[in-house]
Amino acid sequence: MDSRNPLSMIAIVLALAGPGALAQETGAADKWQSVAKTDNQEAFVNGSSIATVGEQIEARVKQNFALPQPSAKKGKTYLSSRTTYRFDCAQRRMAMKEVRTYAGSDLQGEPVQKATSSDKNLQWLDAPDSTVFGELLDHVCGASPGG
């Protein structure tokens, strides 16, 4: 599996989103299933969050990183993120809808940054096979209603 940091493009989106971006808090009842693991990170999907939105699938993803990741906020780093992604199963691509990063693993510690994207401003990224994004897409698209 490709171990490149799949959030590198999201760091740019975070920088552009500004301080007014909002994201939902993590609920205590969230159940996370490990879907992809590399030497650098592990990605989990909250199965109860998978939903159809138009012709796409939406799901919440938690990622834990082995090493601190650079934040768009100068001098800050994070070890975990919770992201709502939109998945286009037919075209094997995904886009970040909202993201929140945390100083500690498993969404613990100080919130470091947050951002959202409107539906018309989604920035789509390819989700090739044998990558973290590809594994997430395969899981979410296979688990979705009618998928």
In tens, the pLDDT along 5-16 reads 444 444 444 443
Confidence band for 29, pLDDT divided at 50, 70 and 90: low
pLDDT (tens digit per residue) in 60-77: 999 999 999 999 989 999
Domain boundaries, the chain: 8-15+31-143
pLDDT at 114: 96
Percent of the chain with pLDDT strictly greater than 90: 74
- Which residue has better confidence, 45 or 21? 45
Average pLDDT of the chain to the nearest whole number: 84
For the cut 90, the answer to whether the pLDDT of residue 139 exceeds it is yes
- Architecture of domain 8-15+31-143 in this structure: Beta Barrel (2.40)
Q: What confidence score (pLDDT) does residue 1 get?
A: 56
Residues 75-81: contacts with CB under 8 Å, at least 24 apart: 76/112, 76/113, 77/103, 77/112, 78/102, 78/103, 78/112, 78/113, 79/103, 79/104, 79/105, 79/109, 80/104, 80/105, 80/106, 80/107, 80/108, 81/7
Which one, of 131, 65, 57, 132, lies nearest residue 101 by Cα? 65
- Report whether pLDDT(79) > 60: yes
**pLDDT tens profile 80-128:** 999 999 999 999 999 999 999 999 999 999 999 999 999 999 999 999 9
The pTM score is 0.78
